[in-house]
Every structure is written in structure tokens, then in C-alpha cells.
Amino acid sequence: MSVPGRSDITEAQHAISGHVRSTPVLPAHDLGLGANLEVFFKLEFLQVSGSFKGRGATHFAATQPISETGLVAASGGNHGAAVAWAAQRFGHDANIFVPTISAPAKVARLRAYGATVHQEGAVYAEALARATSFQETSGATSIHAYNDPVVLAGAGTCAAEFDWQVDGLDAVLLACGGGGLSAGAACWFGSHVEIVACETETTDAYRQAVHAGHPVDIDVAGVAADALGATSIGALPWAALDDVSATSAVVDDASVIAAVDELWATYRIVVEPSAAVPFAVLRSGAWQPAAGQRRVGVVLCGANTDPSRLA
């Protein structure tokens, strides 16, 4: 497998057009982060299925041969919702394996899309093992959350769209779990735009890979673990991120919770904790623009959460 290029992402855009949404951009210049800094929120949480994952799953379902027994996927919740949505869209069955830490709101969404939900394993890696076993016995078509070039090209359409909507971005901050979203951006922007892979202290698979020089297994926990809980960065995402020397930025859970609350209080934006991680990185100073960087993109990638938690 090889990482997709810009032409692959452009082809993915054509394949998913009419099935997914072009999500809007909100200028957010009133953050008090410096008079010369222009910040743009990409409202990707408005995507079909509630997260950017709708792009990759739709690209896969629209272009790949699917078994008569349908699709199977392992997910912290968002990829599963996307696969369930795409399966329903294209008339396939879906069996989704999620860990027991998955948010109830995400599990409910899976069922609402008609998927058969298997809540097994404490973390994503264990759910993936169960899904693999199911695939081997059922013959269903497996769709990986991030370590697949077709899915990765679909994820890259978010960056391509952002690039078209906002001229001259100097840096883009994106949540990083298994690495699909940030790697998709790396595949599109290359080294012309700084890619900032944003994680929490207890879901830092990319940071640990940077330190080791290769993907390593980690223990995951914390407020973002249900979405950013991959125990290792994917091989394909790692290749894409390493190729552009993507920046690693990490924040603690308290910063993430504060970011979720500020997005609601200031912009009336409701996102899940994992989606607020890039904003937490920006507002906390865990990443700061270099000299000459003025236009910064922040992808808010998912909203599969219970809004009542804001109370």
C-alpha cells in the first residue's frame, strides 16, 4: 500500500460528490491570540454521520467491490457511524465493532443507521481484533478506519476543500488518533503548509512514534480516548506525516474540556472532546505560529456527543 497523492484525493472528491457535504468555514479572528493572526474553523462536524469519517467511508463504499455479506469495521464510534451511514446509503449490511469505552451517543447513532453493533473489547485494538475474526468467518468486506489508501484519500478531501475555501493557509491543526485526518491533510498540502497533529497526553500515538522514529504501541485513556484511542499510529498515516515532518502538539484533558466549553460559550459550537483538541492546542499555546505564519486553519472534525454534558 502507498499513500495517496493529490490526484487520488481529487478523484476521491469526484467519487463522493453528491453523497457528502461541503462543510463551511467560520472565521474566528476574535480569539485574542495576536492582532496579526487569522484563524479559520473548518466545521467538519457538520459532515454526514457527524464527523470527517463520512468522507473516507463513502469513498470506499462508492468505489470498492463489497461482499454480499456487507461491510465490517472496528471503530471508537465515528468511523463506525460513517461506515454504517455509507452502507445504508449504498444498500449494504454493516457490522460494527466498538470498544466498551465508546460514548453512548455514538453507539446510538450506529444503531440509528441500521448497523448491527458489537460492543466488545476495552479499547479500539481489541474491537479491531474481534472485527477481524468476524470478517474471516463471515466474508464481509473490511474497511479500516485509517490504514487504507482509499479511506485516506477520502479523508484528504477535507483538506482539499479547506484549501479551496481559504487561500494561503500557513498551518492547519487537526486531531490525530490513528492519523487518518492529519495524514490526509499531509497528502494534500505536502510540505507547503505546516501540518500540526494534535493529541492529548494519554492518546499520543503520533508523539511517541516521532520520539521512537517509528510507530509504537501505547496505552490510551482520558476524555478523547473514544475517538483518538488508537494504540498505534497507522503505518500509512505515519508514512504521510513523517514525509512532511508534521508537527506534534499535545495537551492535557483539562485543556480539552476548557476548549469544548469555550467553543460552546463563544460560538455556540458543540463538538466532542476529540474534535476540540486542535483548538485546545491553539488556545493553550501548545503550538504557536512561527514568524510569518498568519493564516491558521483549525479542523473541528466531529460532534458525535451528548450535548447535555455542557450543562
User: Which tens digit of pLDDT belongs to each residue from 172-226?
Assistant: 999 999 999 999 999 999 999 999 999 999 999 999 999 999 999 999 999 988 7
Q: What is the mean pLDDT of residues 226-239?
A: 90
**Which range of residues forms the domain containing residue 77?**
53-142
pTM, two decimal places: 0.93
User: Which tens digit of pLDDT belongs to each residue from 11-50?
Assistant: 999 999 999 999 999 999 777 776 689 999 999 999 999 9
Whole-angstrom distance, CA of residue 233 vs CA of residue 238: 6
Phi and psi at 111, nearest 5°, equal: -70, -35
Whole-angstrom distance, CA of residue 197 vs CA of residue 113: 30
In order, the DSSP letters of 66-105 are --TT-EEEE-SSHHHHHHHHHHHHHT--EEEEE-TTS-HH
Phi and psi at 134, nearest 5°, equal: -60, -45
Phi and psi at 308, nearest 5°, equal: -65, -20
User: Which tens digit of pLDDT belongs to each residue from 54-82?
Assistant: 999 999 999 999 999 999 998 877 888 99
User: Same structural domain for residues 226 and 110?
Assistant: no
In this prediction, residue 302 carries a pLDDT of: 92
* CATH code for position 118: 3.40.50.1100
Handedness of CA 60, 62, 67, 70 (dihedral sign): positive
User: Same structural domain for residues 135 and 33?
Assistant: no
User: Same structural domain for residues 24 and 162?
Assistant: yes
User: Which tens digit of pLDDT belongs to each residue from 240-291?
Assistant: 999 999 999 999 999 999 999 999 999 999 999 999 999 999 999 999 999 8
Query: What type of residue sits at position 94?
Result: A
In this prediction, residue 96 carries a pLDDT of: 93
Q: Does residue 196 sit within a domain?
A: yes
Q: Does residue 72 sit within a domain?
A: yes
Q: Does residue 291 sit within a domain?
A: yes
In this prediction, residue 310 carries a pLDDT of: 61
* pLDDT value at 308 more than 70: no
Residue 10 CB-half CA count within 13 A:
5
48 burial (CB, 10 Å; 0-12 / 13-18 / 19+) is: buried
**pLDDT confidence band for 4 (50 / 70 / 90):** very high
User: Which tens digit of pLDDT belongs to each residue from 155-167?
Assistant: 999 999 999 999 9
User: Same structural domain for residues 18 and 110?
Assistant: no
Helix axes of 149-165 and 53-63: crossing angle, nearest 10 degrees: 130
Answer for the pair 39, 298: CB distance below 8 angstroms, yes or no: yes
